[in-house]
């Protein structure tokens, strides 16, 4: 089973992530902050629609706590500059929000 930690501000998207993950053998946790996270995770999902300093700080903290996990960033629109910054900061994948759910099953299956 893939353990997924998702930092998602959109409730509807969070519901779709949880449903998709459950269908493909994943379990999702939606913490409110990166503080006091414990356990393990195979996949980390982070909303890049946030302020850049905020998501960069979150990525740094998550990489320290979960060095083995793949990090998936998403944003409403992924411009070339955002894609480059997110990849450089540690995201293995960066998706437009509209294609995150479509790609999530493949990511879960790769991490099983």
Please list the pLDDT of the chain residue by residue as tens digits (112 residues).
Answer: 789 999 998 999 999 999 999 999 899 999 988 887 878 899 999 999 999 999 999 999 999 999 999 999 999 999 999 999 999 999 999 999 999 999 999 999 887 5
pTM for the predicted model, two decimal places: 0.93
Q: How many other β-carbons are positioned within 10 Å of the β-carbon of residue 97?
A: 17
Strands (DSSP E) contained in the chain are 2-7, 26-29, 43-47, 70-75, 93-96
Sequence-distant (≥ 6) Cβ neighbours of residue 69 within 8 angstroms? 5, 41, 42, 43, 44, 62
For the chain, the first-to-last Cα distance in angstroms comes to 6
């Amino acid at each position: 089973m893939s353990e997924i930690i998702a930092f998602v501000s959109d409730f509807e998207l969070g519901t779709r992530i949880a449903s998709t993950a459950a269908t493909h053998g994943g379990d999702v946790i939606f913490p409110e902050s990166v503080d006091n996270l414990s356990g393990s995770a195979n996949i980390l999902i982070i909303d890049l629609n946030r302020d850049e300093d905020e998501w960069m700080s979150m990525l740094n903290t998550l990489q320290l706590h979960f060095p083995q996990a793949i990090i998936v960033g998403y944003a409403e629109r992924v411009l070339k500059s955002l894609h480059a910054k997110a990849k450089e900061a540690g995201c293995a994948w960066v998706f437009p929000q509209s294609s995150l759910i479509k790609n999530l099953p493949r990511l879960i299956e790769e991490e099983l």
